[in-house]
Amino acid sequence: MFRCWCLKAFRADRRLVGNSHVLPRSASAPSRRTLSGVYTRPCCTKLWLGTRSVASVTASTDLTYAQLRRLLAGGKAVVIDVREPWELREYGVIPGSINVPLGQVNGALQLVPEEFRKQYGGEMPGQADNVVFTCLKGIRSKTALDTAISLGYKDVQHYPGGWQDWAKNEHKN
């Protein structure tokens, strides 16, 4: 996991100034204030909001229905659905996706491939593989995307429309 010295400086400064939600400025690391009042530093890949981090990725990580359909047709991505098993039974499944509930994503992506295959019934994605996360509406898939990034996965995306958008588009075709 990538760690920048700014995180250590921020934690130290936070203890000194109390419950501030703004990053302290430093002469050695210029920062830029955003409209929300949060300072960002060019050396960091994260925005620090209080003690909670929100990963920011420079490339677009969102897929449209058509892009996901092309990836699935070409077998160019591992699609992981992070909904609970009962949701898949009740609502439906994107064909070719592997079900790994959100609460298990962190542990699942750290398993050995044989154990992953045995537990989830699909091939475990490598850190260089294209991995797409999906859920019902795109909220949990974004959390899974952030988890995968923190574990070192490079080519990760999520389908923000989730199952609801998929089903709507499938009924049109």
Handedness of CA 153, 158, 163, 166 (dihedral sign): negative
Quick one: pLDDT at residue 172? Answer: 80
Tell me which residues are annotated as active site. Answer: 135
Shared domain for 82 and 122, answered yes or no, is: yes
Region 149-157: mean pLDDT is 95
Distance linking the first and last C-alpha atoms of the chain: 42
Shared domain for 126 and 149, answered yes or no, is: yes
Helix (H) or strand (E) holding 32: strand 32-33
| Range(s) of the domain holding residue 139 | 65-172
Shared domain for 117 and 157, answered yes or no, is: yes
Shared domain for 31 and 84, answered yes or no, is: no
The 10s digit of each residue's pLDDT in 85-133 is 999 999 999 999 999 999 999 999 999 999 999 999 999 999 999 999 9
- What is the three-class DSSP state of 173? coil
Q: Can you tell me the distance from the alpha carbon of 173 to that of 163, in angstroms, rounded to the nearest whole number?
A: 15
Shared domain for 165 and 113, answered yes or no, is: yes
Shared domain for 40 and 121, answered yes or no, is: no
Shared domain for 87 and 51, answered yes or no, is: no
Quick one: pLDDT at residue 159? Answer: 96
How many Cβ atoms sit within 10 Å of the Cβ of residue 77? 22
Q: Can you tell me the distance from the alpha carbon of 134 to that of 170, in angstroms, rounded to the nearest whole number?
A: 16
Shared domain for 77 and 109, answered yes or no, is: yes
Share of the chain above pLDDT 90, in %: 61
Which distant-in-sequence residues (6+ apart) come within 8 Å of 159 by Cβ? 62, 63, 65, 68, 132, 133, 134, 138, 141, 165, 166
Q: Is residue 116 part of a domain?
A: yes
Domains in the chain: how many in total?
Answer: 2
The whole model's pTM is what? Answer: 0.66
Q: Can you tell me the distance from the alpha carbon of 58 to that of 128, in angstroms, rounded to the nearest whole number?
A: 17
The 10s digit of each residue's pLDDT in 23-45 is 344 344 444 443 434 433 444 43
Quick one: pLDDT at residue 53? Answer: 40
87: domain CATH number? 3.40.250.10
Quick one: pLDDT at residue 61? Answer: 87
Q: Is residue 117 part of a domain?
A: yes
| 60: confidence class by pLDDT, cuts 50, 70, 90 | low
Shared domain for 87 and 159, answered yes or no, is: yes
Q: Is residue 60 part of a domain?
A: no
Shared domain for 51 and 69, answered yes or no, is: no
Shared domain for 31 and 70, answered yes or no, is: no
Shared domain for 26 and 50, answered yes or no, is: yes
Q: Is residue 50 part of a domain?
A: yes
Q: What is the DSSP string of 88-134?
A: HHHH---TT-EE--GGGHHHHTTS-HHHHHHHHSSPPPPTTSEEEEE
Quick one: pLDDT at residue 59? Answer: 52
